[in-house]
Structure 1
């Protein structure tokens, strides 16, 4: 699954007005390509961390969330990533990229 995503404050929330109740980086707008991959072999938090570290090192990656329980790795990047680069990163972490979820 690949989709362009944009995170903005929800209308009616405390952040939807001109001023912000939070301040700082938490109010940043994140725009990019979100892709969910299926990875086999992850069984724990250590596995999630290893995959996250390797995939995070790819150029253009802004966010990675690996979930061992589902075998899914959600990646946000500035542009679409090369599938072979993602496969190599997952392989370097010691796991297998099955494909897109």
Structure 2
């Protein structure tokens, strides 16, 4: 009896450990390097949509940007159409939301 209870307890602890450390249905983060084809800044300046052409696949990807630092770079033309960009984004609700948006150029 004690052995059966011990086995059940061990299996329960293993199952709880597995469930607690697994990721819960979250959006997958995608990394991409591409050239900006188009930038659409919203009227209020609180968001923008940039269309990038992926260097690997050649497909165009529209990415929604809401972080203030990147929006400021759009406004003062530090990032413009034709620049090569390294970005990370998550797809949520059918839209791609930027997590990282930077130029690849060094010096």
Q: TM-score, normalised by structure 2?
A: 0.24
Q: Which has the higher strand share?
A: 2
Bigger relative contact order, structure 1 or 2, given CA contacts below 8 A and separation 6+?
1
- Which of the pair has more CA radius of gyration? 2
TM-score of the pair, normalised by structure 1? 0.25
